[in-house]
A and B are shown apart, each in its own frame.
Chain A
């Protein structure tokens, strides 16, 4: 057990949750700010150790394993909860805030879990509360996307649970610790698959753009921070050094970039860039050196803040104009300039511009790849970073704010609500703070590895890549004009594929049923059944009935004989029997006396 004061930071969220719908106005707003603030304070006072252990049927469940890895994630989770709470402060509908609180609480529960069962408990909590953030948009589209999200994540959860149970069966251990790549078997790979689904690693990724493009404005700001990053945390904890993750990470980083080119919806574009960015973290976990693992943590930290900021900016536009498709936007620079500036800060951060947060975190992963002599991985990730700037740094701001001189609809009369702008400002502040003072972030990282991002050669190389990407963007701008289309992705299999499967059932299977099986029934099955029935009727009549009738007849005959003996109908015999019995009774009575 640890020796310092411990309240599980998730407890603040789960205790505050029921109070949200019960309170009103300013009281509710105070509560919404107070809860993440208390949790953030608690997280920053925690010291490493094991807390909150319970014994159940011989299994030790650990709710509070505190170490540097857990703390860096808990720190950014609670910070983002605070920013997200400010962003959603204007909402009348308390249920989104309830869901968001449960969601953050579950993520914190995962981070501090010391064993797989506790992890699984909160892992499912993540799914339930985040699904609520989709359903609460209350449009038909969102509800359908919510159901898909739940089904996909139930599948992922079952893989995880299956892996946990199998591992427990094999080794008797549910410890949530590092796994040696050489000894990993089916159980460990099932757990890995469960984690990879939540980290949105292709081919288990299509739920992400589907869900985050459909959630509520505030919901997607929360969702972009927690589900994938909790999975990254779990990967760092258990699967550091699994080389397959390097390949998957680089593929992911490029996959997201390609789909972002095709995307017309701003929130879906940002979603594909989550996949791309999480690719850096997954690759870092796969490389598995201390520098690369530090890079994965640092990038997760920076990513949560700048991606939250980007979703806040685009969400602000959606809130004010009701639009998120590039083909329906443009010309907003005169009307929403502050939202533009904040979104640009997010865009420059994700693109790893010097002085912004991505620069000091993304380069750690890439340096980790260079130092491990994985040149193809480093080049692939650098290529993806050019794509990141192309889309998030250039395409998003350009096509929302500058593409047209005037918006193609009635221009909005106001900026995004003040609380939204304050939240964006907060996130932008942290993006720049981390960028200019990376030591503050590096101190939180799990390993002590010196790293200096601001060398002249590194700054120069980054600026060249970024600014020449910008040149390419403006040279090819005509090719990038938004097209009102969607790109086919692997969700085709359960969206279109399910419809096709139903059609197959309705048409082909039904035809087979009516034509083949019906006739088979008539010509073969029914006659066979009739013959069988006739046979059993014969057996019943001849064999069974014969036996039963025979035994009935002998009972009848026996009882007839008994009746003749007992009741012969002759008076003298009755009198004689009665007197005999009377005499016997009297003799017995005398004898007893």
Chain B
């Protein structure tokens, strides 16, 4: 059952993408209608703020981490073994 569902989604990749895009749009539009009781932070008042935050957070995390990795941290997987350690 699960396999068939996943298979169907993989075959209709385009449809899944469009649905996902619509969902994202709905979230931002819906944010205009949501009542706000506890406002702790400026961002809580701006509709769609957290959407932008999520996207930027994701990009920031990937770019910064990968940059750190390639500039400094990455070593081959057998790094410790080939240098006399374990």
User: Does residue A243 face the partner (Cβ distance < 8 Å to B)?
Assistant: no
Nearest CB of chain B from residue A261's CB, rounded to whole Å: 4
| Residue of B whose beta carbon sits closest to that of A366 | B40
Q: Is the CB of B34 within 8 A of A386?
A: no
A591 to B24 CA separation, bound complex (whole angstroms): 138
Q: B14 an interface residue at 8 Å Cβ cutoff?
A: no
**In the complex the two chains form, what is the Cα distance from A140 to B52 in whole Å?**
47
Given contacts A262-B69, A334-B3, A484-B77, contact A460 B83 (CB under 8 A): no
Find out whether the CB atom of A466 lies under 8 angstroms from the CB atom of B54. yes
* B18: interface (CB < 8 Å): no
B41 vs chain A, min Cβ distance (A):
6
Q: Which A-chain residue is minimally distant from B55 (CB atoms)?
A: A468
CB-based contact B35/A456 at 8 Å: yes
> B53, B75, B76, B85: which contacts A382 (Cβ < 8 A)?
B53
Q: Are A485 and B44 in contact (CB under 8 A)?
A: no
> DSSP majority for the B interface?
helix
B37 at the A/B interface (Cβ < 8 Å)?
yes
CB of A465 closer than 8 Å to a CB of B: yes
- Asked if B59 contacts A476 (CB within 8 A), the reply is yes
Q: Does A370 contact B41, Cβ atoms closer than 8 Å? A: yes
Known contacts being A144-B86, A258-B64, A499-B83, is A464 close to B74, with CB within 8 Å? no
B23 at the interface (CB under 8 A from A): yes
Q: Which residues of B contact A382 (CB under 8 A)?
A: 53, 57
What is the CA–CA distance of A72 and B65 in the complex, to the nearest angstrom? Answer: 36
A337 at the binding interface (Cβ < 8 Å) = yes
Q: Which of A144, A468, A488 contacts B58 (CB 8 A)?
A: A468
Q: Interface 1/0s, chain A 478-503, versus B by CB < 8 A?
A: 01100111111100000110110011
A496 and B51 form a contact (CB under 8 A)? no
Interface size on B, residues (CB 8 A): 51
How near does chain B come to A103, taking the closest CB pair, in angstroms?
24
Question: Is A520 in contact with chain B by the CB < 8 A criterion?
Answer: no
A-side contacts of B54, CB under 8 Å: 386, 464-469, 472
Q: Taking chain A's interface residues, is the majority helix, strand, or loop, or is none over half, making it mixed?
A: helix
CB-CB under 8 A for A337 and B51, given A467-B23, A468-B58, A487-B73: no
Taking a contact as CB atoms under 8 Å apart, the answer to whether B75 and A486 are in contact is yes
- Given A140-B86, A464-B27, A498-B85, A386 contacting B61 (CB threshold 8 A): yes
Interchain CB contact (< 8 A) of A333 among B6, B36, B59:
B6
| Given A461-B50, A486-B79, A499-B83, A386 contacting B57 (CB threshold 8 A) | yes
Contacts of A488 in B (CB 8 A): 72-75
Contact flags A351-390 to B (C-beta < 8 A → 1, else 0): 0000000000000000000110001001100110011001
Give the B-binding residues of A (Cβ under 8 A): 140-141, 144-145, 257-259, 261-262, 264, 325, 333-334, 337-338, 340-341, 370-371, 375, 378-379, 382-383, 386-387, 390, 402, 455-457, 460-473, 475-476, 479-480, 483-489, 495-496, 498-499, 502-503
Between A and B, 23 residue pairs with Cβ closer than 8 Å are A258-B61, A333-B3, A334-B7, A370-B40, A383-B61, A402-B10, A455-B37, A460-B50, A461-B50, A465-B50, A465-B53, A465-B54, A466-B54, A468-B24, A469-B55, A471-B58, A472-B59, A476-B59, A479-B62, A486-B75, A488-B72, A496-B85, A499-B85
A-B pairs with lowest CB-CB distance, top 9: A472-B58, A144-B86, A261-B65, A468-B54, A465-B54, A386-B57, A370-B40, A464-B51, A464-B50
Known pairs A378-B40, A486-B75. 17 more at Cβ < 8 A? A262-B66, A262-B69, A262-B74, A370-B40, A379-B41, A382-B53, A386-B53, A390-B58, A457-B38, A457-B44, A460-B31, A461-B44, A462-B50, A465-B53, A467-B27, A488-B73, A496-B83
